[in-house]
């Protein structure tokens, strides 16, 4: 039996927040999570390094889009 690590639980909370902010379905967001057994912590599941990289890249893209939209709104005023 495995348990979710604090890192995975934190990611789930972030995905819930993202779904609320963007109006997307949380189920679709949860399906993207990739976990693997921890080698050091025993029976815990951690996020894969590939998933962490994907999340960081997606967050950067989202922030760039928000910044671009903010700049567009500022220039329209």
Q: How far apart are CA 11 and CA 48, in angstroms?
A: 12
Are 9 and 30 spatial neighbours (Cβ–Cβ below 8 Å)? no
DSSP helix/strand/coil, 5: coil
Q: pLDDT of 40-74, one tens digit each?
A: 877 999 999 999 999 999 889 988 988 888 887 77
Q: Which residues pair with 35 in a beta bridge?
A: 47
Q: Taking residues 28-47, report their average pLDDT.
A: 91
Domain parsing of the chain, residue ranges: 3-76
pLDDT for position 40: 80
CA 19, 21, 22, 23 torsion-angle sign: positive
Strands 3-4 and 35-37: unpaired
pLDDT for position 77: 62
Q: Taking residues 21-50, report their average pLDDT.
A: 91
């Amino acid at each position: 039996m495995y348990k979710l690590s604090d890192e995975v639980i934190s990611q789930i909370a972030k995905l819930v927040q993202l779904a609320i902010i963007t109006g997307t379905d949380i189920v679709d967001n949860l399906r993207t999570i990739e976990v693997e057994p921890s080698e050091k912590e025993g029976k815990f599941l951690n996020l894969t390094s590939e998933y962490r990289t994907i999340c960081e890249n997606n967050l950067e893209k989202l922030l760039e889009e928000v910044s671009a939209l903010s700049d567009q709104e500022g220039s329209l005023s």
